[in-house]
Every structure is written in structure tokens, then in C-alpha cells.
Amino acid sequence: MEQLYRVLLVDDEEEIRAGISRKIEWDRLGFGLVGEAGNGREALEMAEQLLPDVVLTDIKMPFMDGLELCRCLQKKLPAAKVIIFSGFDEFEYARQAVGMNVCEYILKPINAGELNEILIRLKEQMDQQRIERRDVENLRRRYEASLPVLRELFYARLLDGQIPSEQIQERAAQYELNLPEGEWMVALFRVDGREEDFHRDGVLLSLQEFLEHQGEKMECPVRTALYNDHVAMMVNGARVYRVLEELERLRSLAQSVLGVEITTGVGLACAGLDEIHRSCMGAYAALDYRVVMGNQKVIYIGDLESALTVSVSLGEEDQHQLASAIKLGQEEKVVEVIRHLIGRIRETRLDLSQCQLFLMEFSTHLIRLARAGGVGLEEVFGDHFTGAVPIDRFRSYETLENWCVEKGVCLQRLLGQKRTDSAGRMIERAKSFIDENYADSELSVEKLCAYLHLSPAYFSTVFKKETGMSFTAYMTAVRMEEAARLLRETDEKTYLIAEKTGYTDPNYFSYVFKKKYAMSPSKYRSGG
């Protein structure tokens, strides 16, 4: 069944709306009337909920006229088509709507036949646009179908070192690949044996599928690709010794499942994706040692060539990752980052003096973060903390790692509590400002945020999260509560009460009041 185009009808005269609604055979024309509104403001609220394809609107209406409605719709629903009703003396005025998605103008009184013809033409245009969108969607689907091949080519060029560092993430995003920052290492799985003994391409495809499936179960991000008669596995941000253990398990399992001999070469960890080709070259070099070391095993180049490539100091990037995890991340992220840092000490087998230096750098960084966030050092490190942590207090790498994780997680929780408390204080200041300034007709979220020295976007997000309502809704609630009190307790004219509660237009004040209390101000004053 053909999907009907959604129509919103807007006119301040109920008779006109009823006449249009009754005279037009909406379904036959391919449209569905989903809503009616009596003014521009009401129409805008309904449009945000109903998402109409077409808006039929009068030009002269209370609270918000048709032109202003067009301007707002152009921002909020740019795809919606607009048909304007106007009197003869308003027609030139209506032409100002050019460029605001207005596709037709109809002079009042509205002729049903003319509106029918316009709707028929409009449907033809919208049908054509729908077909064009379908064509675009088909192209997108074809592109998605070619993505696996494009991704394989990307990985091959990445491992060859042929992609400029500044283009790596851009191209990865283009192919919808998520490649985290941080350290990477490459493992190359080689299928041993003669070509005539098995169908190599089929085995390699099966091996890649197997490793891709198994890689999803690993604790660290893994990417696989076919690469020069090998299956390349790229591993992100994990401890070397854990990776080697996991690679041996995968190699042995794959060999058993596929019934072929497999040897794996592993390169040194590199600092980022722009250097991953170095790890790939190391994996190739490791495979060359199979002549000496034997095949059907995992061969790590770091065990064969003396080269210290992993930094043991808390570098700038390490500090950034640790700070981001503690200030913004979840507890699991803090644990992950710290274990990665301590894992480097384990991998490089540092002596005690080097371990002490690393621990001092780590503690100093936590102290800076605590002081910047207004957290007392005793809350993190205990009452008797002097700033120095002797390395000989730790019996093993495990106890050192546990201590570092404990302090990092503790600081993350304390900073999180500080942020929560700060948000609460900010909300109370905002409420007080609204309570003191609701009578100001120019009161806006921008004016409030200028007072609070906050961005409107950030404030609006926090305010809605903490109060459950928007700034506008809260301000209106305050104004209506005060208006109701004045109506109950004073004899002041309605227009004066409107002014005292921030409304320059008494009619709009009455409209909002009636919407809130389901009765007019005068009726409310008289006791309902």
C-alpha cells in the first residue's frame, strides 16, 4: 500500500479548517490529514511531534503568523513543503516567503478545486523526489556491498605504510572502520605447506573468518585482513605477553579446525597506526626465523632481536589518556589504561630504580589531577601520604598494578562526585535567577547563561537532565504559578498581571494560562 504524505492544517478560523478538512478527499489524492492547529506557535509544537510532509497555513494568525512559522519550519523541518493561504491584500506580503520552502500560494476564499489541483501537482513532485531518494539509497547499498573489498585494500595499504598519517583516520571513517588510537602490533598467520596440497585461497579465507570470529571474544580491539598470502591480525592496546598467549591459543585451535600447519610471526608494538607497517615488517622478519625456530608456533621478534621500542616513562600521550579516563571515562576505562601502563613495566623487565621513577611519575600525575579537581590528597592516598611511594613496598607486579588501579579508580569516583555536586549548585543558582527575574519579558536562556558564565548548549543539557524539564518549561511554570497567586490574592487587571509575570501580550498570556489551568484567567479568579 502506498504511504500517504502527512499534512498539517493551520488556520485560526475553525470554520475554514473544517471546510478544508471536509471538502478534500485526502486519501484519494495520496495525503493524510494528521493534525490541525489554530495558530503558528501551536502548529510549530505539533509539527515537531507529527513531522508532516506538507503544511497548509494561513498567513495572518495570532501569536505567530504564517511567515514566522515558515521561517521556523525551514530550520526545524527543512524537507516539509508549505502552502500559504492569504487574502488579496496580503498576497504581496505572502511572497516574502520565497526561499522558505513555500511551494504554492492560494488566495482566500479557498477554492476546493484549486487546492485539489495544487495537491495533485505537489504529490507528483514529492513522488519524484521519493524516487530520487530511492536511487540514492540503491547507490548507497551498492557501495556498502563493495565495502569488504575496499576495507581489505585499505588494510593492505596501511600495513605497507602507503597511507599518510594525517589521512589514516579520515579514510578509516570513509570505510566505516573504527580504529582506536594507541599502540598496535601485527601478527601474520602463515599457512605452511605446498600449494598443491590444498586450495590456499580457500584456506586463507576460512582462516580469516575464523580469526575474525575469535577476535571478537578477545579483551582488546582486533582487526583482521588478507595480506600477501597471509592473514594479518592487528591488535590494539594490549600487553604483549597476554597477546602472545592468546595468539598461540588461536594458532593451535585454527590449525586443528582447518587441518593445516600454521606459523605465526609477531612484530613489536608500535606507538600508533602511522607506524603499524614497522610492526608488520617485524612480523615478516619473525616468520623468517621459522627455518631456525621451526614452524607451527608463534614467533615473536622481540625475543630474537634486542631492541627496546616501548617507552617506560609516562609520556605526554600516556598522561593525556590517563587524565581523560579519570576525568571523563568510566571505571572500566580507568582500569584498562592503568593496566596497560603497568604492563609496559612488566614487558620491559625494568630494574627497581626505573620502576621507582615510573611510579613517581604516575603518583605525581594523580596528585596534579586531584588538586586541579579540588580533591584532597588524603582522600586518594590516605592521611599519612607524604608524596613519595617506595617501590619496595610492593611484592610483585600484581600488587603494584592493584595499588595504581585502586588510586586511579578512587580519584575517578571523587571527581565524578565533585561534578555532580557542581551541577546541583549550578541548577539552584539558575532557579534562583529565574525566580528573581521571571517578570522580565526579555528573560532567555542566553541571558541566564551569560549570568552563569556557561554555554547555552551545556546548560540546557544539564538543566534538562537534573530537573526533567527544559528552561522554557520551567520558566513558564514559575510565571504561571505567580500569575495564579496574583489572580487569587489581588484585584489587579489581567493585563497588569500579564506584565508582572513577563508577558507583553495579554492575549498570549491568557492563551498560556488556559493551556496550563484549562480555564481563562477570569474564570480562574472567579473560582472556576
CATH code at position 93: 3.40.50.2300
Q: Is the residue at 424 inside a domain?
A: no
402 & 323 share domain = yes
291 & 367 share domain = no
Residue 142 one-letter amino acid: R
pLDDT of 342 reads: 78
Q: Is the residue at 98 inside a domain?
A: yes
pLDDT of 308 reads: 40
Cell (9 digits) for 82: 508549505
The answer to whether 412 and 325 have CB atoms below 8 angstroms apart is yes
The answer to whether 334 and 325 have CB atoms below 8 angstroms apart is yes
Domain ends where: 362, 390, 419? Answer: 419
111 & 13 share domain = yes
Q: Is the residue at 430 inside a domain?
A: no
- The model carries a pTM of 0.37
Cell (9 digits) for 348: 620491559
Cell (9 digits) for 47: 509539527
The answer to whether 412 and 331 have CB atoms below 8 angstroms apart is yes
Q: What's the pLDDT tens digit per position in 490-513?
A: 989 999 999 999 999 999 999 999
Q: Is the residue at 162 inside a domain?
A: no
409 & 444 share domain = no
CATH number of the domain enclosing 496: 1.10.10.60
pLDDT of 310 reads: 43
Q: Is the residue at 139 inside a domain?
A: no
Structural domain count of the chain:
4
Residue identified by cell 610492593 is 394
61 & 95 share domain = yes
Q: Is the residue at 150 inside a domain?
A: no
pLDDT of 392 reads: 58
40 & 115 share domain = yes
Query: In 160-198, which residue ranges form alpha helices assigned H by DSSP?
Result: 168-174
Pairing relationship of beta strands 81-86 and 54-58 according to DSSP bridges: parallel
Question: Whole-angstrom Cα distance, residue 375 to residue 426?
Answer: 19
- From residue 183, give the alpha-carbon distance in Å to each of 30, 242, 273, 280, 305: 57, 14, 8, 13, 20
Domain ends where: 390, 419, 448? Answer: 419
The answer to whether 487 and 525 have CB atoms below 8 angstroms apart is yes
Chain CA centroid to CA 120, Å:
40
Helices (H) and strands (E) in the chain, counts: 22, 10
345 & 368 share domain = yes
User: How does DSSP classify residue 516?
Assistant: H
Q: Is 168 helix (H, G, I), strand (E, B) or coil?
A: helix
The answer to whether 56 and 9 have CB atoms below 8 angstroms apart is yes
343 & 298 share domain = no
Q: Is the residue at 431 inside a domain?
A: no
Among residues 381, 346, 159, 336, which one has the least CA distance to residue 240?
A: 346
9 & 127 share domain = yes
Low-confidence ranges of the chain (pLDDT < 70): 1-2, 88-101, 136, 138-140, 143-146, 194-198, 289-294, 305-313, 329, 346, 348-355, 391-397, 419-422, 528
List the domain range (segments joined by +) for residue 185. 179-303
- Full DSSP string of 283-346: HHHHHHTHHHH-SSSEEEGGGTS----S--S--HHHHHHHHHHHHHS-HHHHHHHHHHHHHHHH
Pairing relationship of beta strands 262-266 and 5-10 according to DSSP bridges: unpaired
97 & 215 share domain = no
The answer to whether 503 and 441 have CB atoms below 8 angstroms apart is yes
Question: Whole-angstrom Cα distance, residue 47 to residue 34?
Answer: 10
470 & 377 share domain = no
Domain ends where: 384, 419, 454? Answer: 419
239 & 193 share domain = yes
pLDDT of 239 reads: 79
Query: Please, what is the angle between helix 397-437 and helix 445-452, to 10°?
Result: 120
Q: Is the residue at 152 inside a domain?
A: no
Helix or strand (DSSP H, E) at 381: helix 377-381
